[in-house]
């Protein structure tokens, strides 16, 4: 594996899958003498939190909650 000119490396898919690391996942680096440890950040947002943040404020329906509930319930 090589480091790009921008200092980037690709984490192998099997490792990403095993650790649950996907696009947007926060990771931490730790230096241990001549090694680097990378781990999923404990401060990072969960995948569900990230999704909710991306969707927040994007709704464009001008209906009240009661109107939406009546529509979905067929009332």
Q: What is the 3-state secondary structure (H, E, C) of 16-58?
A: HHHHCCCCCCCEEEEEECCEEEEEECCCCCCHHHHHHHHHCCC
Range of 4-8, 19-23, 67-71 with top mean pLDDT: 4-8
pLDDT tens digit string along 27-52? 889 999 999 999 888 776 777 887 88
State the average pLDDT over residues 53-75: 85
Residue with the bigger pLDDT between 13 and 1: it is: 13
Query: pTM score, two decimals?
Result: 0.49
More confident residue, 57 or 13: 13
Domains annotated for the chain, with CATH where assigned, are 1-56 (2.10.260.10)
Distance in angstroms (rounded) separating the CA atoms of residues 1 and 11? 9
Decide the pairing of beta strands 27-32 and 35-40: antiparallel
Q: In the numeric block, which tokens belong to residue 41? A: 């950040």
By percentage, how much of the chain surpasses pLDDT 70? Answer: 97
């Amino acid at each position: 594996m090589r480091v790009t000119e921008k200092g980037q490396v690709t984490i192998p898919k099997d490792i990403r899958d095993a650790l649950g690391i996907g696009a947007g996942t926060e990771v931490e680096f730790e230096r241990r003498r001549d090694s680097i440890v990378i781990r999923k950040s404990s401060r990072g947002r969960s995948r569900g939190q990230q999704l909710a943040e991306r969707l927040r404020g994007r709704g464009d329906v001008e209906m009240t909650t009661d109107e939406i509930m009546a529509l979905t319930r067929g009332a």
